[in-house]
């Protein structure tokens, strides 16, 4: 998604220069894509060939809206009431869900109900708020912002996902926030539009990614950052038509980038709702000026286009590309609610020539959405959106998913008379990863890195341990991921990228590190991949993403951590790293070589870290325990341990032996051995304590799953 904002992020000094740069950038972008794709095909013909013939069975899920003739939702249908065909072949329905409101209530009221919330689902409602700063003005932007904030506050349920996009002349199409249930984060970014300090997670991750790629000499074009949001006055200024060439370039940029986004969104299951805040593209640019003598015919979808070639009657290239964008959105199952921020629609063709209502109507009509001609009563608009999206069924059926990119048409019918049915018209089979555009590849990476429910694929999950500690008065965080040799075979290859991401309590990106490695020769042994970070005290959410850059296969690990403040006095705290006998593991440092062993010294020739479940009968276990000795002498520590069964609450002491203790007065380490014996499989807490600290809180509690 480097196209979404970074390829066109340069500032220009004149309208003519702006147009030249935009057109040259488009040409450069196209040539770079061709060159990159040809390079991939030359280097990886075996991978490309194998992917073209890969077939697997999966469940296709389809959202279906059913209303009566008055538009009221019908809520009492069963799976047997539906008939579904794929490419005119009747399909048995094997999966059935109902998703019914109400979700239209303030969040504080929803929380006070006390009822458990439904678990996240790949078929929950998905909204993208798209702010058009180019074809807009300052009053329209302000109204749009207030409407969006009200939508977040009153119309979203806890499991509804929302993403945030904007389009501007300088940055192009920018994804600020990927689909998330963290609605407050989206709110903060919207409120921060115009502030250079406010960045969304998606744009931050994308920018850091392309900066890293550029440093390796692999970036495709400009990846410079503009330092965040743009001023409101400057954003509104983009709507001013300097000249026809610049305006045309702007329309081409918008339609091409939205089309690219729509193609990427094909891989996200279910319906996606886009709420577009825009004045639209001026009608005369698409359809031409209305000739003298033409009368007002009411409210047609578009004015008459009198010539396909004469620019006085519209630009045929812009018209084709705009219509293609609308079709791409519809084929990706994206429904657009287009809101005209300019106010009430015009009443005569001559004034409509300079209005964008026809372009907005076209987007809404082709996608099955709704056009709204004013934000004067935005409460009514939000109620209409809510009514149209909050009551639906999910039908599932088995398909042989082939990597051929072909389109399948879907038809859904309800047997009960008097029902009106709205469902997606079809879907595309996935294409081989090497044929994906850079927009699709970037959105897939953001899906893996940020998605609470990854939509592009069901990635492999691998365990990650986050161990906070203090060294030389600084707060540190060690991240250790365990990669199973058996699971790695389906993921890694000669070009595997590993991305470490750490988010703070505000869900802002606190740390980003990327590295490309060749793990294809490591498949004979388990791999431990680690990094050590210096972070300020606070709460953090950590994520590690692996992605094969030739096949697109991905894997994800996540863990939470509380990094302590070394300056705050308090009780003794320890950070243990559990170890088990293992002489065959491989260790890869993402950052400084040897950083993990410096933080937690152990004999890697005899032991390996316990990350994730352990097998029954694994004994003994060891622990490297690192101490923070606030107000306590390290020499008085006499640790002990016991196990607590999480399900039954049963407590069992285990034999512990102190094997060694560090002699360094500045660092406190000790090595402890635990004899578990034949503990039955289950979920346990391993509690570490000190014999001289009776009635005090435990030194540490470690989750231990035995299988």
Please, what are the averages of pLDDT over each run of 10 residues along the chain (707 residues)?
A: 36 36 35 33 35 58 90 92 95 92 51 45 88 91 94 93 93 94 93 75 89 60 38 46 73 94 90 94 77 48 48 75 91 92 57 78 89 90 91 90 83 94 85 90 93 86 93 90 85 89 92 87 84 94 94 93 81 81 88 90 91 87 78 54 90 86 76 87 86 61 89
Nearest one of 543, 531, 544, 545 to 593, comparing CA atoms: 531
Q: Can you give the pLDDT at residue 53?
A: 40
Burial of 444 from C-beta contacts in 10 A (0-12 / 13-18 / 19+): buried
Q: Which residue has the tokens 């039954």?
A: 648
Structure tokens of 452?
Answer: 């609470």
Report phi then psi at 327, rounded to 5: -70, -40
Q: What is the dihedral of CA 672, 678, 679, 681, to 10 degrees?
A: 120
Q: Can you give the pLDDT at residue 628?
A: 67
Q: Can you give the pLDDT at residue 571?
A: 57
Q: What domains lie within the chain, and their CATH numbers? A: 53-102+120-400 (3.40.50.410), 459-706 (2.60.40.10)
Burial of 35 from C-beta contacts in 10 A (0-12 / 13-18 / 19+): exposed
Contact between residue 670 and residue 658 where contact means Cβ atoms under 8 Å apart: yes
Q: Can you give the pLDDT at residue 113?
A: 38
Structure tokens of 23?
Answer: 């057109």
E-assigned strand segments in 492-582: 496-503, 509-517, 527-534, 538-548, 554-563, 573-581
CA 260 – CA 265 distance, rounded (Å):
9
CA 29 – CA 20 distance, rounded (Å):
14
Q: Can you give the pLDDT at residue 49?
A: 37
Would the CA dihedral through 329, 334, 335, 336 be positive or negative?
Answer: negative
What is the rounded end-to-end Cα distance, in angstroms, of the chain? 42
DSSP secondary structure letter of residue 120 = P
Structure tokens of 446?
Answer: 């953001």
Q: Can you give the pLDDT at residue 566?
A: 81
Mapping DSSP to helix (H, G, I), strand (E, B) and coil, where does residue 668 land?
Answer: strand
């Amino acid at each position: 998604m480097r196209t979404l904002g970074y390829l066109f992020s340069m500032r220009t000094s004149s309208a003519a220069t702006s147009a030249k740069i935009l057109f040259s950038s488009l040409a450069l972008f196209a040539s770079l894509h061709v060159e990159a794709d040809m390079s991939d095909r030359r280097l990886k013909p075996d991978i490309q060939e194998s992917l073209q013939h890969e077939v697997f069975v999966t469940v296709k899920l389809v959202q279906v809206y059913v209303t009566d003739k008055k538009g009221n939702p019908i809520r009492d249908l069963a799976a047997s009431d539906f008939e579904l065909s794929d490419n005119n072949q009747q399909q048995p329905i094997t999966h059935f869900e109902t998703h019914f409101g109400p979700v239209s209530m303030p969040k504080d009221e929803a929380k006070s109900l006390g009822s458990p919330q439904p678990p996240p689902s790949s078929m929950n409602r998905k909204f993208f708020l798209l702010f058009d700063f180019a074809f807009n003005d300052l009053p329209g932007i302000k109204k749009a912002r207030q409407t969006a904030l009200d939508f977040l506050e009153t119309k979203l349920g806890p499991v509804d996902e929302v993403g945030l996009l904007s389009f501007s002349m300088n940055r192009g199409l920018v994804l600020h926030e990927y689909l998330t249930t963290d609605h407050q984060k989206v709110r903060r970014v919207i409120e921060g539009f115009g502030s250079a300090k406010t960045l969304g997670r998606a744009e931050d991750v994308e920018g850091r990614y392309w900066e890293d790629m550029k440093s390796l000499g692999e970036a495709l074009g400009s990846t410079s950052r503009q330092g965040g949001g743009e001023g409101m006055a400057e954003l509104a200024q983009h709507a001013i038509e300097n000249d026809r060439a610049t305006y045309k370039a702007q329309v081409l940029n918008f339609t091409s980038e939205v089309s690219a986004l729509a193609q990427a969104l094909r891989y996200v299951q279910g319906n996606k709702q886009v709420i577009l805040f825009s004045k639209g593209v001026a009608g005369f640019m698409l359809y031409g000026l209305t000739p003298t003598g033409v009368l007002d015919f009411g409210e047609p979808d578009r004015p008459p286009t009198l010539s396909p070639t004469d620019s006085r009657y519209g630009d045929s290239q812009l018209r084709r590309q705009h219509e293609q964008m609308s079709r791409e959105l519809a084929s990706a199952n994206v429904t657009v609610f287009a809101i005209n921020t300019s106010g009430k629609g015009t009443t005569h063709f001559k004034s409509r020539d300079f209005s964008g209502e026809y372009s907005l109507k076209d987007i809404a009509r082709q996608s099955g959405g709704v056009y709204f001609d004013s934000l004067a009563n935005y409460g009514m608009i939000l109620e209409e959106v809510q009514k149209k999206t909050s009551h639906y069924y999910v039908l599932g059926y088995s398909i042989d998913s082939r990597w051929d990119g072909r389109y399948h048409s879907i038809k859904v019918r309800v047997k009960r008379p008097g029902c009106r049915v709205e469902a997606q018209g079809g879907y595309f089979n996935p294409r081989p990863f090497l044929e994906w555009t850079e927009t699709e590849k970037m959105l897939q990476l953001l899906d893996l890195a940020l998605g609470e429910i990854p939509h592009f694929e069901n990635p492999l999950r691998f365990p990650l341990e986050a161990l906070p500690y203090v060294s030389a008065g600084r707060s540190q965080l060690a991240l250790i991921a365990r990669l199973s040799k058996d699971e790695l075979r389906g993921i890694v290859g000669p070009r595997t990228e590993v991305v470490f991401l750490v988010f703070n309590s505000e869900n802002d990106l606190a740390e980003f590190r990327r590295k490309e490695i060749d793990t294809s020769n490591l498949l004979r042994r388990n791999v431990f991949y680690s990094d050590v970070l210096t972070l300020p005290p606070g709460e953090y959410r950590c994520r590690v993403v692996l992605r094969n850059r030739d096949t697109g296969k991905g894997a994800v690990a996540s863990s939470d951590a509380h990094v302590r403040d070394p300056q705050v006095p308090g009780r003794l705290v320890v950070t243990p790293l559990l170890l088990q006998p293992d002489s065959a593991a491989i260790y890869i440092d993402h950052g400084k070589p040897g950083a993990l062993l410096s933080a937690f010294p152990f004999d890697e020739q005899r032991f390996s870290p316990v990350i994730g479940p352990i097998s029954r009968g694994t004994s003994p276990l060891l622990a490297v325990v690192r101490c923070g000795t606030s107000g306590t002498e390290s020499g008085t520590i006499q640790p002990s341990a016991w196990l607590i069964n999480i399900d039954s609450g049963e407590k069992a002491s285990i034999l512990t032996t102190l094997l060694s203790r560090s002699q360094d007065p500045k660092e406190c380490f000790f090595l402890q051995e635990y004899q578990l014996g034949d503990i039955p499989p289950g979920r346990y807490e391993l509690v570490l304590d000190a014999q001289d600290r009776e009635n005090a809180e435990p030194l540490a509690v470690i989750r231990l799953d035995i299988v």
